[in-house]
Amino acid sequence: MDGEPTTPARSTGHPSRKAVLRAALAASIAAPAVLMGVPALARTVSGSGQAPALTPSCDDGDDPTPAQMEGPYFKPNSPRRTSLLEPGGQGTRLTVTGYVFGLACLPLSGVLLDFWQADVNGAYDNVGFRFRGHQFTDAKGAFTLTTIVPGLYPGRTRHLHVKLQAPGRPVLTTQLYFPGEPRNNTDSLFDPRLLMTVRDAGGAREAAFDFVLNVPQTPGPGPTPSPTTPPPGGSAWAVGTTYRPGDRVTHGGRGYTCLQSHTAQAGWEPSSAPALWRAE
């Protein structure tokens, strides 16, 4: 989900729980996670001059961040990194920061975020991994992506792709959009609930977006529910199995130890996912 107004569109007259929690989290980390000196939740109005509909505030019972199509250019096995910049690369530098919350407004640590996007010319690298990379949220549920503003290609407005998966939960595939883009009005996939909050920053751009995943939570200190699938106990690695740190599997004739809770999917085989598995 992305930002809401500092006075939410509810009749209570009080900030939402999510706004208060995000402000508290942001206060303990360095800029640019905090934009404009406030919780960075203000939405930019759409091209019509009216505020678009918002992803609901993160209160119990509200909907999670909307899903969107994967598109034709996703590739598994992206490198683990928070910066997609390359020496001598072209484009306007873009820093995207935010948090990942569950349904009870609690931050989720250890969430996998896999980003991919077009280069400054609107082209995707389908051979290597330029402008592709994955990372995990920290203990406060925060993430930071350093990249460039993507270029345009026919039929689409400017956007970023991302897949998210909380430990032991299904994958959310969605896209993030830029406010004020002329093509927002003609792109059939554009969803105003997925607009980032964006500002100029000395020749670069800074953006903020908070995701809400469909992860049930009981309000309390623990940010992430424990997976319920039994550990595999040293069996062969298998898609769809929930693994926890310390679980042992075999794959391709080798043994591996799990480093990060996750649900296995194609592309995250132990031999190609060093962020998730350590070879024995």
pLDDT band at residue 42, thresholds of 50, 70 and 90? very low
Does the pTM of the predicted model rise above 0.95?
Answer: no
**Residues 6 or more apart from 106 whose CB is under 8 A from it?**
21, 141, 217, 219, 220, 222, 223
The whole-number pLDDT of residue 264 equals 84
pLDDT at 8: 32
pLDDT at residue number 21 = 58
- Residue 162: pLDDT over 50: yes
- Alpha carbon distance 163, 167 (integer Å): 13
Which residues on adjacent β-strands are paired with residue 197? 208
Q: Tell me: the pLDDT tens digits for 66-107?
A: 999 999 999 999 999 999 998 888 999 999 999 999 998 899
Q: How many residues are given for the chain? A: 280
Where does the pLDDT of residue 53 fall: very low under 50, low under 70, confident under 90, or very high at 90 and above?
very low
